[in-house]
With several copies, the nearest count.
Chain A
């Protein structure tokens, strides 16, 4: 307990002098020295703090199961991942699904389809589906964040698989949840959105199914994805809430649903204020058993 007090005091001090990240980075480094890696602790860390950029891809890979918890196996497993990637890449080449000009996210999508057994019978007739657009948006972001095409594929593949298996059931409830918190925070805004028919038409699929891929700049998106990858999809609701509250003045001036939806789909969100706003909202609204300390 006393240790906690000292620690909190120190964190508070670091925060005041602007070195807030220093201690976080150190504690993450300690966690990353453990053998095997403690996934639960890593998730808890990631739920509380943004991952320092230097370690982000490594931590994501572990939390997404691309690399195992035993670091002594990382080399051997990475070798398998590379071979699997090469096999799939070769297959999409052979099937004439891609050329050297094909953008990386599209290459990833075709590889994913082959791996999941989703290639259509006639390869020339292609109808893009909604879930494939979601995959493409996520893969576009991943290919910008990852250093190689190999990492881009594995991160996109495992992010989508993990997200669908963990959160597919919660997704339909997120709009309701957003409405609930909006009623608590900004009742007038909620009523305005309802009256002009915009509430049901908010860009929920971009926000929730794509986890804001393509809607937020990468620098804030990666912080949101830290939380999603470590197991929380509820944060998505608070990011949406923060967006609505941030643009309350503009939205209140618009009376047409089309205008509001178009505005929200195209607006460029300011990353930092948004990030901190959504976390404050997240913290304030969560029951005390959730360990959010931002």
Chain B
């Protein structure tokens, strides 16, 4: 009976742990995406600034 309880507990633990691992992979995917967006956003910022600088020089 004790053995059964232990096995059950271990199985439960494994299932939550695997749900956790799945979420962790989601975090990793989102992280890559996020880093990519951060750099795009930086680029855009520079573009806007460059164009704005050109406009003010022309005026």
Contact = CB atoms under 8 A, between A and B. Distances in A.
A binds B: yes
Interface of A: 36, 68-70, 72-73, 76-77, 80-81, 83-84, 87-88, 90-91, 94-95, 114-117, 119, 121-123
16 contacts: A68-B14, A70-B4, A73-B8, A77-B15, A80-B19, A84-B18, A84-B23, A88-B22, A90-B26, A90-B27, A91-B26, A91-B29, A94-B34, A114-B25, A117-B25, A117-B29
B48 interface: no
Contact of B11 (A70, A83, A88, A115): A70
A73 B12 contact: yes
Contacts of B19: 80-81, 83-84, 87
Contact of A69 (B11, B25, B28, B30): B11
Given A69-B7, A95-B33, 9 more contacts: A70-B4, A70-B11, A73-B11, A84-B18, A84-B23, A115-B22, A119-B32, A123-B33, A123-B36
A78 B31 CA distance: 26
Interface of B: 4, 7-8, 11-12, 14-16, 18-19, 22-34, 36
Contacts of A123: 33, 36
Contact of A80 (B18, B27, B31): B18
Contacts of B8: 68, 70, 72-73
B33 A68 contact: no
Contacts of A69: 7, 11
B4 to A, nearest CB: 8
A117 to B, nearest CB: 5
B27 to A, nearest CB: 8
A123 B8 CA distance: 40
A36 B5 CA distance: 12
Contact of B26 (A73, A76, A114): A114
Given A36-B7, A72-B8, A87 B23 contact: yes
Given A36-B7, A70-B8, A91 B16 contact: no
A88 B24 CA distance: 10
Contacts of B29: 91, 95, 114, 117, 119
Contacts of A114: 25-26, 29
Contacts of B32: 119, 121
Contacts of A72: 8
